[in-house]
A and B are shown apart, each in its own frame.
Chain A
Amino acid sequence: MSTRVMIDGNGAASEGLRLAKVRVVSAYPITPQSPISEKLADFVVQGKLDAKYIRVESEHSAMCCAIGAQLTGVRAGTATSSVGLALMHEVLGVAAGCRVPIVMPVVNRSLVSPWSLWCDHQDAMAERDGGWLQLYAESAQEVLDLILIAYRTAEDARIQLPAMVCLDGFFLSHMSDAVYVPDQAAVDAYLPPYVCHNFHLDPNDPMFINNLTPTAEYTEMRYQQAVGFNQAPAVLLAAMADFKRVFGRDYSLLEAYQCDDAEAVIVTLGSMSGTAKYTVDQLRGQGKKVGVLKLTSYRPFPAEQVKQALAPVAVVGVMDRSPGYGAQVAPVATEVRAVLSGKPVQGFIAGLGGRDISPATFVKAFAKLLTGEITADVDWVDVKENALTIREVK
Chain B
Amino acid sequence: MLTMKSEARGLIAHGVSACAGCGLELAARVILDVLGANTVIVIPPGCAALFSGYGNETVTKIPGFQGNLESTAAYAAGIKAGFEVQGRGDIQVLGFAGDGATVDIGLQALSGALERGDKILYICYDNEAYMNTGIQGSGSTPLNAWTTTTPGGKSVYRKDMVGIVAAHKIPYAATASVGYVDDLRKKVAKAQAATATGPAYIHIHTPCPTGWGSKPEHTIEVARLAVQSQCWPLYEITDGVNYQVTVPVAKPKPVAEYLKLQKRFNGVAPEELSTMQTAVGQDYTRLTNK
Contact = CB atoms under 8 A, between A and B. Distances in A.
A296 B245 CA distance: 63
Interface string A255-289: 00000000000000000000000000000000000
Contacts of A61: 71, 73-74, 77, 108-109, 112
Nearest to B83: A72
A203 B63 contact: yes
A66 interface: yes
B37 A203 contact: yes
Contact of A24 (B49, B58, B81): B81
A40 B172 CA distance: 31
Interface in A175-216: 201-203, 205-214, 216
B74 A68 contact: yes
Contact of B49 (A74, A209, A212): A212
A129 interface: no
Interface residues of A, number: 44
A218 B62 CA distance: 24
Which has the most chain A C-beta neighbours within 10 Å: B74, B77, B80, B111? B74
B52 interface: yes
B254 interface: no
**Which of B49, B63, B88 has the most A CB atoms < 10 Å from its CB?**
B63
Nearest to A50: B85
Given A57-B111, A217-B55, A210 B82 contact: no
Contact of A209 (B65, B70, B109): B65
B61 interface: yes
A207 B88 CA distance: 18
Q: Which of B55, B61, B79, B80 has the most CB of A within 10 A?
A: B79
Nearest to B76: A68
Main secondary structure of the interface of A (DSSP, over half): mixed
A214 B82 contact: no
Contacts of B71: 60-61, 64, 91
Contacts of B42: 68
Given A203-B40, A203-B91, A208 B66 contact: yes
Nearest to A217: B55
A68 B78 contact: yes
A206 B78 contact: no
A71 B82 contact: yes
Interface string B60-101: 111111111011011111111111111010010000000000
B285 interface: no
A294 interface: no
B210 interface: no
Contact of B82 (A64, A76, A94, A209): A76
A65 B81 contact: yes
A165 B51 CA distance: 37
A90 interface: yes
B38 interface: yes
B52 A212 contact: yes
B164 to A, nearest CB: 14
B82 A23 contact: yes
B116 interface: yes
Contacts of A90: 68
25 contacts: A52-B84, A54-B77, A58-B109, A61-B108, A64-B68, A64-B74, A64-B75, A68-B42, A69-B85, A72-B79, A91-B71, A94-B67, A201-B40, A201-B63, A201-B64, A201-B79, A202-B63, A203-B40, A206-B64, A208-B64, A209-B66, A210-B65, A211-B58, A212-B53, A213-B55
- Ordered nearest first, which 8 A-B pairs have the shortest CB separation? A68-B78, A72-B82, A57-B112, A65-B78, A61-B74, A69-B82, A208-B58, A64-B74
Interface of A: 23-24, 26, 50-52, 54-58, 60-62, 64-74, 76, 90-91, 94, 201-203, 205-214, 216-217
